[in-house]
Amino acid sequence: MLNQENILVFGELLLRFSSSEDQFISKNHTVSLFPGGSEANVSASLGQWKIPCSYVSCVPDNALAANALQSLEELGVNTNKTLRQGNRLGLYFLLSANGLTSGEVVYDRKFSSFSNLKPGVIDWDKVLDGHTWFHWTALTPALNENMAAVCKEALVAARAKGLKISVDLNYRSRLWDYGKQPIEVMPELVAYCDVIMGNIWAANKMLGIPVDDSLNRETSVEDYKQHANASAKIVFEQFPQCKHIANTYRFMDNPKHNLFYGTYHTPDGNYISEVQETNDVIDRIGSGDAFMAGLIYGILSSTDGAEIIRMATSSGYNKLFVKGDFGNGNI
């Protein structure tokens, strides 16, 4: 039975520009535009599952931002708490049609309305009122020191109000460019979290959890499971607030191929999903966010660890067949 938590998701709303070819600038092709951003993607899935969900961001008061927010509203997400101020919406450019190649992502997020937020602007006690779960990601404190401080504000308020807190340790090296490394920022913030999603490499980069440098594409599923179990054990020891950990494993052998599975851990047990594999990928952007949403859905609807990781992995895998950043709600 689904436990109807009221979830507040905080992060930057982005617009994605995708080329119809693997070269973004050329003479005869089109560019597709999609709303996105990791946290918006999570909200989109939760909304489609009819889980009460509010999305909080900061966007300029213009038609472009309004249209992007409307796309979330149409999926069942409440965007009324989003601030309308500043002058620009964050953008990113995908230098391929769908993220299937090694095509680069170019961010254009500096000086956006969201990245210009300062501590004290958001009344977190008011914004969090009525909610029981707060979700954020490592992308936000990656933007600048002020955004790291805003995250700290939100987490302190959420913990004081007794909300469950989840984080996605998504790491983007191009964003951490203001003189701080993740390991200098993230441990203090993650200490507030009940649910941590990412992978063993992100846990190493952001939390200092040891990882074996010899692990690669040829490492067996069973070996990855054992390494995930060991990593989770250390996370639970170092971050006692945390009661749920999940890791994704995604490997690509060619543009259309994806191998996808996950592990889930509690202080009392370790679980692994079935391995999902396809050679028919349409769009892999947002698959990790769909996994995160599925993890939240699983924790809300089941106490069975095997079922929780099945739902998370299924949600992430199904996103591979959906164009754009948002999933389609299949789980």
C-alpha 317/C-alpha 151 separation (Å) is: 29
From residue 46, how far is each of 50, 173, 240, 287, 291 by CA, in Å?
7, 28, 27, 14, 11
Question: Collapsing DSSP states into helix, strand and coil, what is residue 54?
Answer: strand
Domain assignment present for 329: no
Domain assignment present for 327: no
Structure token pair of residue 265: 């851990």
CATH assignment at residue 139: 3.40.1190.20
C-alpha 162/C-alpha 99 separation (Å) is: 38
pLDDT for 19 equals 74
The fraction of the chain above a pLDDT of 90, given in percent, is: 85
Structure token pair of residue 103: 């095509």
Domain assignment present for 326: no
Domain assignment present for 153: yes
What confidence tens digit (pLDDT) does each residue in 121-166 have?
999 999 999 999 999 999 999 999 999 999 999 999 999 999 999 9
Q: Considering the entire predicted model, what is its pTM?
A: 0.95
Domain assignment present for 1: no
The residue among 88, 94, 92 whose CA lies nearest residue 57 is: 88
Helices (H), the chain: 38-48, 63-73, 124-128, 145-160, 182-190, 200-207, 221-238, 287-301, 305-319
Domain assignment present for 331: no
Phi, psi of 76 (to 5 degrees): 100, 15
Domain assignment present for 225: yes
Domain assignment present for 330: no
What confidence tens digit (pLDDT) does each residue in 80-110 have?
999 999 999 999 998 765 454 455 788 999 9
Q: Give the pLDDT band of residue 28 (cuts 50, 70, 90).
A: low
Number of domains in the chain: 1
Structure token pair of residue 319: 């996103």
Average pLDDT, the chain: 93
C-alpha 159/C-alpha 150 separation (Å) is: 14
C-alpha 241/C-alpha 103 separation (Å) is: 38
Where b means 16+ CB within 10 Å and e means fewer, 7-26 reads: bbbbbbbbbbbbbebeebee
- Average pLDDT on 298-315 reads 97
Q: Print the domain residue range for 17.
A: 7-319
Within 8 A by CB and 6+ apart from 3, the residues are: 300, 301
What confidence tens digit (pLDDT) does each residue in 177-209 have?
999 999 999 999 999 999 999 999 999 999 999
Structure token pair of residue 129: 């009122």
